[in-house]
């Protein structure tokens, strides 16, 4: 596969993800059936329904690809060609009818992300990227900001399900960021945090405890929009199983890393 193939696959996959988004829209005003995967980790019947629908639609596009999907991943490992799926990123938001909810779908090919889609059906926005073809929102090209001063930067973050174990570290980062930047936002859906960096709405995003389905599509969105994504702890190139992520517009990256670096 080459970059032309990635663009063609992205077009078909975007249509599939948007169609699956109608399940979230149709469920939005209906009662939720919520169960717990952990102390504060939720799953709804909509998560499962969207995942099953996405897998069916995406299989028809690339029958040879495997799946790494949140609700059915188990101990699955990445193959050379795989769809990485978070059917409802922001499940807690969905359960509370907060509209920061998205489906995240990334295509992994031979060691790198080559296509990414973050579809936010309640916000009516779909963010897309194919390697070598840039990033777009609802078909319009998007680009990261040129902000190079932390005092002018709007930063986003998220809190992991392991908050009890990591609360001191998280509050340390938060206190540094709050007093150094223009402000900090937390929307509760990492895929949208990445997308908003790519769209120039945020200047930087950091978080720990994310899984491949949280980061796969957004990682490519940011890089194709001109930004930079590294490991939060080391500033080394990002990997899908990294402990933490730092995604920025690029201009602020090293400064942001130094700010958050452990003392």
Measured distance CA(223)–CA(220) in Å, rounded: 5
Contact 90, 100 (CB under 8 A): yes
Judged by DSSP in three states, 141 sits in strand
Do the annotations mark residue 70 as ligand-binding? Answer: yes
Contact 74, 89 (CB under 8 A): no
Judged by DSSP in three states, 254 sits in helix
Measured distance CA(202)–CA(97) in Å, rounded: 23
Measured distance CA(122)–CA(166) in Å, rounded: 31
DSSP string, 56-109: HHHHHH-TT-EEEEGGG-TT----SEEEEEEEEETHHHHHTT-S--EEEEEEEE
Do the annotations mark residue 86 as ligand-binding? Answer: yes
Judged by DSSP in three states, 155 sits in strand
User: Where do we find the tokens 């990334």?
Assistant: 106
Binding residues for Mg(2+), by number, are 70, 86, 89, 214
Binding residues, by number, are 70, 86, 89, 214
């Amino acid at each position: 596969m080459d970059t032309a193939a990635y663009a063609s696959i992205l077009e078909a996959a975007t249509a599939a993800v948007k169609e699956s988004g109608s399940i979230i829209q149709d469920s939005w005003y209906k009662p939720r059936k919520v169960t717990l995967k952990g102390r504060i980790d939720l799953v709804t019947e909509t998560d499962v329904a969207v995942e099953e629908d996405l897998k069916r639609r995406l299989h028809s596009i690339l029958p040879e690809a495997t799946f790494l999907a949140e609700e059915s991943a188990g101990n699955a490992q990445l193959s050379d060609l795989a769809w990485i799926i978070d059917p409802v990123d922001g499940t807690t938001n969905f359960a509370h009818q907060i509209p920061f909810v998205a489906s995240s779908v990334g295509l992994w090919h031979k060691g790198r992300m080559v296509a990414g889609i973050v579809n936010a059906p309640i916000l009516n926005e779909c963010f897309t990227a194919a390697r070598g073809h840039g990033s777009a929102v609802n078909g319009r090209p998007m680009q990261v900001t040129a902000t190079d001063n932390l005092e002018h930067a709007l930063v986003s973050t998220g809190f992991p399900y392991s908050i009890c174990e990591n609360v001191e570290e998280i509050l340390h980062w938060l206190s540094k960021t709050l007093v150094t930047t223009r402000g900090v936002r937390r929307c509760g859906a990492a895929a949208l945090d990445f997308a908003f960096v790519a769209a120039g709405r945020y200047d930087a995003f950091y978080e720990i405890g994310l899984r491949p389905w949280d980061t796969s599509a957004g990682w490519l969105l940011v890089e194709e929009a001109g930004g930079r994504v590294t490991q939060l702890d080391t500033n080394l190139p990002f990997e899908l199983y990294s402990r933490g992520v730092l995604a920025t517009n690029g201009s602020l990256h090293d400064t942001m890393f130094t700010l958050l670096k452990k003392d």
